[in-house]
Structure formats: structure tokens, C-alpha cells
Chain A
């Protein structure tokens, strides 16, 4: 049994991670979709009469790609962080740690599942709104590209959070002190260049901003940033966190005493 990649081991772990959230799909898919729809109703009924961000683009249509992206980000994070953290708490992770599965295989399996969950939530929202909102689709491949990079990025961040956390409070802290601020400075509800210069400057370092801007472009065909910049910045952020996460797993930090 000499091989360098344990394909079936990786695939089994990936399937297990998908199966895990699928068993509770009402909480992991349906609830987040409804959540976005509620946001949409509240924001559009309050704001759509008053705001026009891009000429001839209805505010609801402007808002939707960002809201979908936020749902993707949150759910990808929730998937890997809660799965790994729980497995750490009840030591169920031991079964995986005893198996001949490498850090990279481990990483790819968890990220893969986070991407599947992110895409399912994203597609779920999209399907449930196209009946009410006339949302264009400029470039479907690009939309998938940003959705995958986004859920991969947050899936990886979820793993990192779960590794460092000793209590659920710590996971919540990652959400409240990192994800939430990044969300508010991401240009979901407005354009970054309309912010005061200081905050605008900070936002240009925010990967969420590029993900949302690029994702919105995939639908509307208009964007704040140059598309190439968004692609490069998002990909770079994803690659950087991937390398960090695989390295962290390889050190065994908090997983292998």
C-alpha cells in the first residue's frame, strides 16, 4: 500500500463532511436561505425608492449579489468551524487523526465540503429570488469562480478558527471581531468609494470587498474595481490562507498534543 495520495481517504472525509451538514439541511441550507430573503425584504422595502448606485440599476438588483455572497461566506465559515470544533470537543477528530490522511488531504476535504455548502446556499437564494427580482446573469462561470474562492477562503478561515478555539465563545469572537467588521466594510449595501476616505482605504485591503465586487460584476456586468484586480486579490487571499492552514495542520497545533 505505497502511495503518496490517499484518494479514497480524502474522498471519504469529504463525503462525510458534506453528509454531516446534509443530515441537518433545514438548519444548514434552508434557514440561511430564508435569512437572506428576510434581509432582502427589509432592505429593499426601506431603501429601494431612495437609492440608486449604478445608473439604471434597481437597488434590489444591486443588493442581491452582495447578500448572496455574504450568505456564502457565512455558511462556508460555519460549516468548517463548527464541524472541526465539535469534532475537537468530543474528540471524534481522533478517528481522522489516526488514519493515514495527510494535512493537505484533510484540508481539501473540509474546504471541499465548505464550498459545497456555500454553493448550495448561494444557489438556494438565487432560485428563490429569481421569481420576484429581475436579476440579470452577465457571466455564470465568473459567478461560480467567485463563489468557490469565497467559500474556500472562509472554509479555511473556519478551520483556523476551530483549531485555535477552546470554547464556542472563541468561535463567536472570530465571527464578531473579524468576519462582522469585514462584512460591513465590504460594500454589500453601498459602494466603497462613497465612504469617507479613511474607511474606503481600509476597505481596499478587505478580501470580502473584492469577492463581492467581482461577484456582483458576474451578475450586473458593472463593478467598482477592475475585474482582474478582484480576481487576483481574491485568489491571492485564498492561496495565502490555504498555505497557512495546511501549515498549521501540519504542525499539529492543538490537534496533535
Chain B
């Protein structure tokens, strides 16, 4: 499989801030790739260098074989970028913005059926004549996606599309991203939610302070941090717990217990049975996936200990 995006030794420094410290990374064609990292990790900087919005101090990036600096025209035709910020042009309505954007890419009337289709797919048809400022946050986000797709790019980049959006929109954005991927687009998604990357991405790169601290298939990466959390609400304020549960207890509050479970070795059913045997009654329970922070700490600890 050839690569959709090739990133070689990219450095970027903004005045004093070293935002990227030599990133090398290949994004396979047709893949759903996640770029994961906390705020300030350098994700947007990398995306913006791919897009030509920011210039690297060192290194090269190519998109479908086109260097983003030397063959910038072809590289930009190949790319659809959904920026993190809600950027806008207050003068024009939704359809006008889409037509203008298509025009910038050299596409005229022949592209209008595609614009209608995009409006339909992204549920913007009845907002086609509204100005950007009158759209809800979710609609603005969807419009930005439509704008990125107006020239049918092969590689689609979504920079934190779900940061600060409600659950419903997040679900619909996930569905849409999956559909794009199935239609053959290479997808590059940045996020700081691990569960999002886990749900969508085949392969993940983790960025922290401008450095890549992990690059692997999603399943391998999660296996490196094989724990999850079990939250139990108890009927009473118990004091004694079965001995083999004690080393799993992370926090113990009156009528509440948090356990750290190994994905493969510990079963929730087994834990519940043991509690039952000890006459401890569970009222409610839920599990929590490790947060990105926890995977990080784990990865960083691994790196320093090995």
C-alpha cells in the first residue's frame, strides 16, 4: 500500500515555542489515521504545515506524492482540510460560500450537483440561504466539512472536529467520517479523546510536546495500557473486602469503590461474584476507559523504565 501523506523530519518553532521537534510519519493511502495528543501537543501545527497554512522550519511533507511546498497546487487539490477553529466569511450565505470555495479550486457550474449533495448529506439544505453567523455551532462545523469536500479531495483532514460538540453531533460526525472512509478517502483525524481515536482509527500516532511518543495500530497501542476502571456503588458503607480485590482498589469512599481491572485477566462478572460471596451488595456499576492522560503517563513511564 502506498502512502497518502509522507512526513519527514518536520520541525517548527514559533518564536520561542518549539511546536514540532522532528516528526517523521507515513499515513497509508485509504487508512483512517488518528493523530492524538493533549492541547498544545502540536497537532494543529502539523496539520497546518500539511495544508500549507504554516511553513515548517525544516523537513518535507508530500501528499499523494506532491510536495506541499514545491507542488503546492496539486497538493492542495488532493487535500480537504477542516480547520479546528470556526473560521468564517460573514458576507456570504452557506450556498454562496460553497460555490466560491469550488471556484477557488477551478470548479464551476458542473460542480453544483455535488454542492447540493453535500448540503443534503450534511443536513444543511434548509440553511443554504442563511449567513454563517446565523448557524448553530453544529451547523457551522458541518459547513466547514462541506467546504473541505467541495473539490472531492482524496485526503481529508479533520482537526479536532468533535472538540466541544454535543453527543448527538459527535455521533453524526463519526458516522460521516466512517462513510467518507468507506468511500475510499484517506482520513486524518486529530483528537484529544482516546475513545474517539479508538472507535474510528486503525492506526494512531501520539504527539506530546512536539514529539511523537507512539505510532502503532490502535489495538496494539491500547494493549500497551491494558487497564480500565470499574466504578461500583455499594448499598452500605462496607469496610472489609475480599483479599484479592484489595490490590485493585484505586479509591475507596463510603458506599463507593473504584477498581483498576486488567482488560484480559480480570472479568467484571468474576469481580461481582466475589463481592456477592462476601455479602457486599452492589447497587450500580459502570466502567471507564483509560483517559489519554493515563495512557500517556503509562507510555512515558514505559519509555523511561526501558
Contacts and interface: CB of A to CB of B under 8 A. Distances in A.
B107 A100 contact: no
A116 to B, nearest CB: 16
Interface in A6-40: 6-9, 11-13, 15-16, 19-20, 23
Contact of A98 (B81, B85, B90): B81
A100 B101 CA distance: 11
Given A16-B100, A100-B73, A9 B106 contact: yes
Contact of A23 (B55, B79, B91, B103): B91
B55 A252 contact: yes
Interface stretch (A47-55, A87-95, A117-125, A214-222): A87-95
A91 B73 contact: no
Interface in B90-114: 90-92, 97, 100-101, 103-108
A141 interface: no
A8 B99 CA distance: 12
B72 interface: yes
Interface in A203-257: 252, 256-257
Interface string A68-91: 000000000000000000010011
Contacts of B241: none
A91 B44 CA distance: 15
Interface stretch (B45-53, B203-211, B257-265): B45-53
Given A1-B106, A9-B106, A97 B87 contact: no
A140 to B, nearest CB: 33
A2 B74 CA distance: 8
Question: How extensive is the interface on chain A, given as a class?
Answer: 20 to 34
Interface string B39-61: 00000000010011111000000
A201 B83 CA distance: 52
Contacts of B101: 95, 99
Given A92-B87, A100-B105, A256-B54, A6 B100 contact: no
A108 to B, nearest CB: 14
A87 B105 CA distance: 19
Contact of B74 (A1, A12, A95, A252): A1
B229 interface: no
A220 to B, nearest CB: 40
A172 interface: no
Q: Which of B48, B73, B76, B108 has the most CB of A within 10 A?
A: B73
A180 to B, nearest CB: 28
Q: Which of B77, B87, B147 has the most CB of A within 10 A?
A: B87
A16 B98 CA distance: 12
A215 B119 CA distance: 50
Interface string B64-84: 000000001110110101010
A110 to B, nearest CB: 14
A92 B76 contact: no
A12 B104 CA distance: 6
Contacts of B73: 6, 100, 102
A9 B91 CA distance: 19
A92 B106 contact: no
B74 A99 contact: no
Contacts of A98: 51-53, 76, 79, 81
Contact of A257 (B53, B107, B108): B53
A95 B89 contact: yes
A133 interface: no
Given A13-B103, A16-B100, A257-B54, 4 more contacts: A9-B103, A9-B106, A12-B104, A95-B87
